[in-house]
Chains A and B, each alone.
Chain A
Amino acid sequence: MSPTKIDVELVVNGQPRRATVEARKTLADTLREDLGLTGTHLACEHGVCGACTVLVDGAAVRSCLMFAVQAAQSTVTTVEGLSSSAGDLSPVQRAFRECHGLQCGFCTPGFIVSVTAFLEENPDPTDEEIRAGISGNLCRCTGYQGIVRAVKRAAELRAPEDSEGVTA
């Protein structure tokens, strides 16, 4: 018996997209396999590591724990949607590069999406808030040293021009 497939319409990285998927197919697999967005990575598939984090209607979500059908009519942002098509990096992406916030890079998309949402909520976090804020994402290479620095740096890069002089 072939499982029934369902049409799912959603907006991904600003583009209206449609996928026809089984009800049991996760959002992560749909993004990766049906929509060709392989930047979202799977490292545990049980909601602990955070590598598959995407924004659904602005909130950071583990796309391995969500079915694609649950994301119907939602607005989804993946790591691919954070940088401009002209090749500019987002402040968080720039900061990860500047601060050696990645080595193998596999956990990185999840961190970058999580940190993007985190700084949206808390634009000027303390060190302790940063560590708590990224504690839902696992990295095995960096010992988190460069990642913590990158979040601080990203907060600086995101700060409006006029306040930069104050914080600097």
Chain B
Amino acid sequence: MTTPALQDGHRPTGAARWIGKSVQRSEDRRLVTGRGQYVDDLNLPGMVHAHFVRSSVARGTITNLDVAEARELPGVLAVFTAAEINSPDHVFWQTMMGPDASYPPGRVLADGDVRYVGEPVAVIVAESRYLAEDAAELVELDIDPLAPVLDMVAALSEESDVVHPERPSNLSGEARADIPGLDERLDQAPHTFTETFRQHRYLCVPMETRGIVSTWDPWQEKLEITLSCQSVHETRLFYARMLGIPEIDIHVVMGDVGGSFGQKMFPEKEEHAVVIASRLIGGRPVKWIEDRAENLISGGHSREECLTMTVAVDDDGVLLAAKGHQIEDVGAFPRPGDGMAGGSALAMFPGPYRWSGPGSVGYLAQGAFTNTCGRTAYRGPWMMETTAREQMVDVVARKLGIDPLEMRRRNIISVADMPFTTPMQLQFDTVSPAETLEQAAELIGYDEFRKQQEKARTDGRLLGIGLSTYVEPQFGFGILATEATTVRIEPSGKVNVYTSTGSHGQSLETTLAQIVADELGVAFDDVRIIQGDSARTPYGAGTGGSRSGAIASGAAHAAAATMREKVLAIGAHLLEASVDDVEMSDGVISVRGVAGAAVPLAQVAAVAYLNTDAMPPGVTPGLEVSERYKAPLFMFSNATHAVTVEVDRATGQVEILRYVVSEDCGNMINPMVVEGQIAGGVVQAVGGVFYEHLVYDEDGNPTATTFMDYLLPTATEAPDLEYGHVITPSNTPGGYKGLGEGGAICAPAALLNAVRDALAPLGVSISEQPLSPDRVLRLINDAQASSRWR
């Protein structure tokens, strides 16, 4: 698709020379030449290396932990256990959740008992990682195993053993929307259907694992941390609280970050242990780089959950009311807070459908502790609402004999419905669900495919088409409400921009520079973005929640606009013109309509710093402006995905034929980056639906501990994506909306619906994943065995 121009009313003050264009990325020259600086690339004088001894038992009592022999190995500096690392003074709460939220019991290393396979029990610090791993072989660790709690539903029963003896039950938290009379309403509707959808455990799996280098300077009492993370400021504040070190004596840097997808939003046990170990050792940098097995068993898990959905519908397929009951497996030590995304799932559960207005949709979400790796945020952590709802629409449509596209058309809201208040009382102002639904249907050739499908079925071939549509929230409350930008024009007239956020792949060095260049009126190449350094950049929440597109960009607009006013005031003074008559473009301030009346930005900068007596009265010297942008409580983007598949009846293999995404993220800062974000999310969903599964055995042992067992999609499994863009500008600066998570939220249901549609003639029902060939074959065979096979 061609990219539509920026919508009127949302142009930056300067000319839109860069915004809206697929500008090549500023980050790339260092990254394609191997000159990136990831945390493992840091090699400091005196650096020592940490390695963890971990539990191989899911639940049990530590009966013996003897590290004496390991401590004696030459090259080993220290072997620390809970006795040295843990402290009752540690506090573990994250800023986003606050001190009063529900948390798992706080502990760094296992103390007395173990609660999941992979839980760190001791940390070894040695002159090399090889030596540290040698020393681990010398640690004696005996654990008396207990029966683990592994099933999230059973975990919530009163009879269940508890994962955390400190807590009364395995309920980590609850979110509910209780609607009086809803059950009666559901019962009395013309049709009521109930289905349970399950999702299996799959994970963020950034290509760069977690890692940290921590140095304690005992003479200045300062902590210096470089780590792979999503927010240097949260890391700094967290350790200031946890260890009682003044925030101003902690410096956190993130450098290049090799992906995260939610996993690195908050520091966890291993990072805590390394920081504390570095403090105990003092003066020497301690490095820990997670290996892949550690990342898979202890880096944070996601997606294992179930949602039972009851839907009331009339004879015409109009959705009347619904309720959902979601249970999330949050593992033993989830982050953040109680590990739940159920509150967000509750908010978004009605999706882009009308229902019967407020009071027609109810919800209960529960988090269940289990003796497994803790849950962590993963790209659209609340996506079960879309995964279940969009499958349910297809299930109901089939039962009513209505085509799933038609069923959606009868219920979906459109731009004409704006503003729209959802059953959960959220207000949509600028979403376009119906428009993306129609565009996706058109791009994929929906009606034509139905004809092909019918013909293929007569030939015995199993073709299917799946749709999924959703609204993606960006939250703007609490710590998430703001981001900040400092724009500093240097004495030469070149521009440094300090952003409170930090990219782990989102291209912010490029997109924020596009915004500042246009808003200010300078060349893109004259702008540099500085990020990911707690000492240099303003405080902020970091990347996450698809907030950078709207909120960090909002701050960049605001700071650049304020700077522009100041530059124009000085420029007008130098040109002896009224400020209303001057403009800046390409780094030159000129008087509109007066040829030759111009002054370069470099001259304005020189005056502002070096010849301040020439400044206009009342204007402060220097060119440095900071603005903190406060976002609305909620912002929303939306999309529809449409996919066609063919299922091989003999092998169970699913081939994706075409994949179309029609999305509305408002004005696009950089269409290439927008499409890249969508593609990444969609292919992660392809992995989740068909290949990836972190399986635990009946003893609570993870059985996918390498990439030979945990199967990521490769280029041969990834479909060619096709994109459509509907542009409904938001009401925030620039008219942008966040979209980084949507691909991963919307795609699973589309893929599942396509397979469901392909297998419909065989009477197959799908409620579990991943749809590996053996599972698909089993579904087909089971359906045949129950002689629903036509």
B506 at interface by CB-CB < 8 Å? yes
A-B contact pairs, 26 of them (CB 8 A): A49-B707, A83-B32, A89-B29, A97-B29, A100-B672, A100-B676, A102-B28, A103-B505, A103-B507, A104-B207, A106-B38, A106-B208, A107-B258, A131-B715, A137-B715, A138-B207, A140-B206, A140-B259, A140-B680, A140-B712, A141-B505, A143-B679, A143-B683, A144-B679, A145-B675, A145-B721
Q: Bound complex: CA of A98 vs CA of B683, how far in Å?
A: 21
Q: Bound complex: CA of A139 vs CA of B40, how far in Å?
A: 18
CB distance from B157 to the nearest CB of A (A): 37
Contact A103 B33 (CB under 8 A): no
Contacts of A163 in B (CB 8 A): none
Contacts of A51 in B (CB 8 A): 207
CB distance from B370 to the nearest CB of A (A): 26
Say which residue of B209, B675, B708 sits within 8 Å of A48 (CB atoms): B708
Contact B31 A102 (CB under 8 A): yes
Contacts of B209 in A (CB 8 A): 43
Q: Bound complex: CA of A102 vs CA of B504, how far in Å?
A: 12
B291 at interface by CB-CB < 8 Å? yes
When each residue 1-41 of chain B gets 1 if its CB lies under 8 Å from chain A and 0 otherwise, what string results? 00000000000000000000010110111011111101011
A61 at interface by CB-CB < 8 Å? no
Contact A100 B673 (CB under 8 A): yes
Contact B207 A139 (CB under 8 A): yes
CB distance from B689 to the nearest CB of A (A): 14
When each residue 717-730 of chain B gets 1 if its CB lies under 8 Å from chain A and 0 otherwise, what string results? 01011000000000
CB distance from A90 to the nearest CB of B (A): 9
Say which residue of B31, B38, B680, B716 sits within 8 Å of A135 (CB atoms): B716
CB distance from B77 to the nearest CB of A (A): 16
Q: Bound complex: CA of A137 vs CA of B42, how far in Å?
A: 24
CB distance from B7 to the nearest CB of A (A): 24
Q: Bound complex: CA of A36 vs CA of B37, how far in Å?
A: 12
Q: Bound complex: CA of A104 vs CA of B279, how far in Å?
A: 31
Known A-B contacts A25-B130, A103-B506, A106-B207; the reply to A142 vs B706 at CB < 8 A is no
Q: Bound complex: CA of A104 vs CA of B256, how far in Å?
A: 8
Say which residue of A40, A46, A97, A106 sits within 8 Å of B259 (CB atoms): A106
Say which residue of A41, A46, A103, A138 sits within 8 Å of B714 (CB atoms): A138
When each residue 88-103 of chain A gets 1 if its CB lies under 8 Å from chain B and 0 otherwise, what string results? 0100010011101011
Contact B504 A97 (CB under 8 A): no
Residue of B nearest to A97 (CB): B28
Contact A109 B679 (CB under 8 A): no
CB distance from A120 to the nearest CB of B (A): 18
Contact A89 B207 (CB under 8 A): no
CB distance from B501 to the nearest CB of A (A): 15
Top 3 nearest A-B pairs (CB, nearest first) are A39-B34, A106-B258, A105-B31
Known A-B contacts A102-B32, A141-B259; the reply to A45 vs B682 at CB < 8 A is no
B261 at interface by CB-CB < 8 Å? yes
Q: What is the size category of the interface that chain B forms with chain A? A: 35 or more
Say which residue of A78, A80, A108, A132 sits within 8 Å of B31 (CB atoms): A108
Say which residue of A25, A37, A134, A145 sits within 8 Å of B34 (CB atoms): A37
Contact A96 B33 (CB under 8 A): no
Q: Bound complex: CA of A42 vs CA of B36, how far in Å?
A: 14
CB distance from A45 to the nearest CB of B (A): 6
Contact A142 B679 (CB under 8 A): yes
Q: Bound complex: CA of A35 vs CA of B206, how far in Å?
A: 26
Main secondary structure of the interface of A (DSSP, over half): loop
Contacts of B29 in A (CB 8 A): 89, 97
Q: Bound complex: CA of A84 vs CA of B238, how far in Å?
A: 43
CB-CB contacts below 8 Å: A1-57 with B: 2, 22, 24-25, 32-33, 36-46, 48-49, 51
B499 at interface by CB-CB < 8 Å? no
Contacts of A76 in B (CB 8 A): none
Residue of B nearest to A43 (CB): B207
Say which residue of A40, A89, A97, A143 sits within 8 Å of B682 (CB atoms): A143
Residue of B nearest to A37 (CB): B34
Q: Bound complex: CA of A150 vs CA of B208, how far in Å?
A: 22
Q: Bound complex: CA of A40 vs CA of B38, how far in Å?
A: 11
B292 at interface by CB-CB < 8 Å? yes
CB distance from A55 to the nearest CB of B (A): 13
Q: Bound complex: CA of A134 vs CA of B743, how far in Å?
A: 23
When each residue 69-103 of chain B gets 1 if its CB lies under 8 Å from chain A and 0 otherwise, what string results? 00000110000000000000000000000000000
CB distance from B678 to the nearest CB of A (A): 8
Q: Bound complex: CA of A40 vs CA of B715, how far in Å?
A: 21
Q: Bound complex: CA of A25 vs CA of B131, how far in Å?
A: 11
Residue of B nearest to A3 (CB): B130
Residue of B nearest to A110 (CB): B207
CB distance from B205 to the nearest CB of A (A): 6
CB distance from B377 to the nearest CB of A (A): 15
Q: Bound complex: CA of A38 vs CA of B36, how far in Å?
A: 8
Q: Bound complex: CA of A67 vs CA of B714, how far in Å?
A: 27
A112 at interface by CB-CB < 8 Å? yes
Contacts of A146 in B (CB 8 A): 676, 679
Contacts of A25 in B (CB 8 A): 130
Known: A22-B130, A137-B714, A141-B676. 14 other contacts (CB 8 A): A2-B75, A39-B34, A40-B34, A45-B292, A48-B706, A82-B33, A100-B673, A103-B505, A104-B258, A105-B28, A109-B32, A130-B715, A135-B715, A144-B715
Q: Bound complex: CA of A125 vs CA of B75, how far in Å?
A: 51
Residue of A nearest to B31 (CB): A105
CB distance from A168 to the nearest CB of B (A): 21
Q: Bound complex: CA of A106 vs CA of B27, how far in Å?
A: 12
Known A-B contacts A100-B672, A100-B673, A131-B716; the reply to A43 vs B28 at CB < 8 A is no
A147 at interface by CB-CB < 8 Å? yes
Contacts of A89 in B (CB 8 A): 29, 32-33
Contacts of B684 in A (CB 8 A): 140, 143
A148 at interface by CB-CB < 8 Å? yes
Contacts of B27 in A (CB 8 A): 105
Contact B32 A140 (CB under 8 A): no
Q: Which of B31, B675, B679 has the most CB of A within 10 A?
A: B31
Q: Bound complex: CA of A103 vs CA of B718, how far in Å?
A: 17
A68 at interface by CB-CB < 8 Å? no
CB distance from A139 to the nearest CB of B (A): 7
Known A-B contacts A33-B43, A46-B706, A138-B712; the reply to A103 vs B676 at CB < 8 A is yes
CB distance from A74 to the nearest CB of B (A): 19
B297 at interface by CB-CB < 8 Å? no
Q: Bound complex: CA of A114 vs CA of B426, how far in Å?
A: 49
CB distance from B248 to the nearest CB of A (A): 30
B232 at interface by CB-CB < 8 Å? no
Q: Bound complex: CA of A114 vs CA of B136, how far in Å?
A: 35
CB distance from A110 to the nearest CB of B (A): 9
Q: Bound complex: CA of A22 vs CA of B252, how far in Å?
A: 34
Contacts of B43 in A (CB 8 A): 33, 36, 38
B122 at interface by CB-CB < 8 Å? no
CB-CB contacts below 8 Å: A117-131 with B: 130-131
Residue of B nearest to A136 (CB): B714
CB distance from A131 to the nearest CB of B (A): 4
Q: Bound complex: CA of A93 vs CA of B34, how far in Å?
A: 10
Contacts of A93 in B (CB 8 A): 32-33
Q: Which of B22, B29, B33, B208 has the most CB of A within 10 A?
A: B33
Say which residue of A97, A134, A141, A145 sits within 8 Å of B25 (CB atoms): A97
B569 at interface by CB-CB < 8 Å? no
Say which residue of B292, B505, B683 sits within 8 Å of A46 (CB atoms): B292
Contact B40 A38 (CB under 8 A): yes
Contacts of A137 in B (CB 8 A): 714-715
Q: Bound complex: CA of A22 vs CA of B131, how far in Å?
A: 11
Q: Bound complex: CA of A130 vs CA of B507, how far in Å?
A: 26
